[in-house]
C-alpha cells in the first residue's frame, strides 16, 4: 500500500520566473496590493504592467488583493477585482472584459496529485471570459473556464467548466438556471 511521503516532494520542474523578479514582486505585492491601506487602483494597474501583466482600460483593483505572479495575468477592459481576492496564478490567469471577481474569491491554478506518494504539484490555467461574474468567497479550481456571462454564485466551487449564460451554485457548482441580461 502506497503512503504519502512528502520527503520525496520535488517541484524543481516548475520555474515561474527569475528569482530576483519574484522577490521584487513579493515586496511590491505586500506593500501595494495585500496592504489594505493602498486605495489607488491606478497605481496597482501601473505596477502590474511594470511586472508584465496585460491590463486593459478601466480596470478596478480593490484593497487587499494578493497576486502570485503578475507576468502570468491578463485582465480585459472594465473588469473589477474585489477586496481580498487571491489570484494564485501558478499558471496563466486570463480575465476577460466586463468581468466581476467579487471579494474574497480564490483563483487557484495549483493543486497536488494525491495519487502520488510525492504529492506532485499540478498546475492548470484559469480563464474567466467576458461578462462573467465570480461571486464573493467562491473558488475557481485549476484548469477551469468560466464561459461568457456565466455566474458562479456566492461561496461556490467551480471544479469543472461553466457554460455560457449559466448560473452555477454549490460545491461542486452545478447549473441552477440560465442568466438573462435584460
Q: Looking at the whole model, is its pTM more than 0.75? A: yes
Task: Report in angstroms the alpha-carbon separations of 3 from 23, 115, 120.
Answer: 35, 9, 13
Question: For residue 92, which of 109, 111, 80, 115 has the smallest C-alpha distance?
Answer: 109
pLDDT the model gives residue 1: 64
Question: For residue 168, which of 94, 65, 88, 141 has the smallest C-alpha distance?
Answer: 141
pLDDT the model gives residue 63: 95
Task: Quote the CA–CA distance of 80 and 116 in Å, as a whole number.
Answer: 38
Sketch out the chain's domains with CATH numbers.
18-178 (2.160.10.10)
pLDDT 10s digit of each residue in the chain, 182 long? Answer: 678 999 999 999 999 999 999 999 999 999 999 998 888 999 999 999 999 999 999 999 999 999 999 999 999 999 999 999 999 999 999 999 999 999 999 999 999 999 999 999 999 999 999 999 999 999 999 999 999 999 999 999 999 999 999 999 999 999 999 999 98
pLDDT the model gives residue 2: 72
Question: For residue 43, which of 30, 53, 33, 34 has the smallest C-alpha distance?
Answer: 33
Amino acid at each position: 500500500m502506497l503512503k504519502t511521503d512528502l520527503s520525496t516532494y520535488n517541484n524543481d520542474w516548475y520555474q515561474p520566473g527569475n528569482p530576483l523578479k519574484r522577490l521584487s514582486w513579493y515586496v511590491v505585492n505586500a506593500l501595494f496590493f495585500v496592504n489594505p491601506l493602498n486605495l489607488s487602483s491606478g497605481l496597482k494597474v501601473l505596477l502590474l504592467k511594470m511586472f508584465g501583466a496585460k491590463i486593459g482600460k478601466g480596470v478596478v483593483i480593490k484593497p487587499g488583493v494578493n497576486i502570485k505572479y503578475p507576468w502570468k495575468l491578463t485582465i480585459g477592459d472594465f473588469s473589477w477585482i474585489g477586496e481580498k481576492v487571491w489570484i494564485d496564478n501558478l499558471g496563466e490567469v486570463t480575465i476577460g472584459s466586463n468581468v466581476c471577481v467579487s471579494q474574497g474569491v480564490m483563483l487557484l491554478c495549483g493543486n497536488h496529485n494525491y495519487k502520488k506518494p510525492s504529492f506532485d504539484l499540478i498546475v492548470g490555467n484559469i480563464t474567466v471570459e467576458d461578462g462573467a461574474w465570480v461571486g464573493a468567497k467562491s473558488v475557481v479550481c485549476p484548469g477551469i473556464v468560466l464561459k461568457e456571462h456565466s455566474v458562479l454564485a456566492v461561496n461556490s466551487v467551480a471544479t469543472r467548466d461553466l457554460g455560457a449564460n449559466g448560473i452555477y451554485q454549490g460545491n461542486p457548482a452545478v447549473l441552477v438556471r440560465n442568466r438573462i441580461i435584460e
